[in-house]
Amino acid sequence: MKGSETTGTQSSETRTRRQAKASGNGNGNSAKAASGGDPEDVRAAASEVKERVVETGQHLREDANLMAETFTDAATEIQVYLREQATRRPYAALGAAAGIGFVLGGGLSLRLTSTLLTIGGRLLVTALWQQASQNATTH
């Protein structure tokens, strides 16, 4: 019995807080408009929300484009580096290719292979991220 009384008290307190916010005591004009205020207030609040959503979408798009550009630049740099290394050290490149082929071809257990690829992928992403952040701070 005691537990249900506590829950009832908490839910009534929560209801009271929500009603206070809806009446405008805690959340500004948007809450007043949403609680059934003047239609002009509702339109103004909706317009404000729309502007915020559009602005946030634009910021997200800019950030995504910047990130895609950074990853493209990093991939190009990796490609150039690998070509240089293959030209300078052809036997090392053949050895690396043979090792990768062995691992991917089933030379190691699936669990060990996936663990190694996961670790290698994380190290690669970390290195690329650090390089990109260094390039961003120097430019």
Q: Please tell me the predicted confidence (pLDDT) of residue 35.
A: 53
Report d(CA 29, CA 58) in Å as an integer. Answer: 25
Q: Please tell me the predicted confidence (pLDDT) of residue 28.
A: 46
Q: Please tell me the predicted confidence (pLDDT) of residue 96.
A: 87
Q: DSSP alpha helices (H): ranges in the chain?
A: 2-22, 28-34, 39-88, 90-102, 110-138
Q: Please tell me the predicted confidence (pLDDT) of residue 65.
A: 92
Residues of the chain with pLDDT under 50: 1-10, 23-33
Q: Please tell me the predicted confidence (pLDDT) of residue 5.
A: 46
Q: Please tell me the predicted confidence (pLDDT) of residue 3.
A: 46
Which residue ranges make up each domain of the chain?
Answer: 15-88, 90-139
Report d(CA 45, CA 67) in Å as an integer. Answer: 33
Q: Please tell me the predicted confidence (pLDDT) of residue 66.
A: 92
Q: Please tell me the predicted confidence (pLDDT) of residue 72.
A: 92
Q: Please tell me the predicted confidence (pLDDT) of residue 101.
A: 85
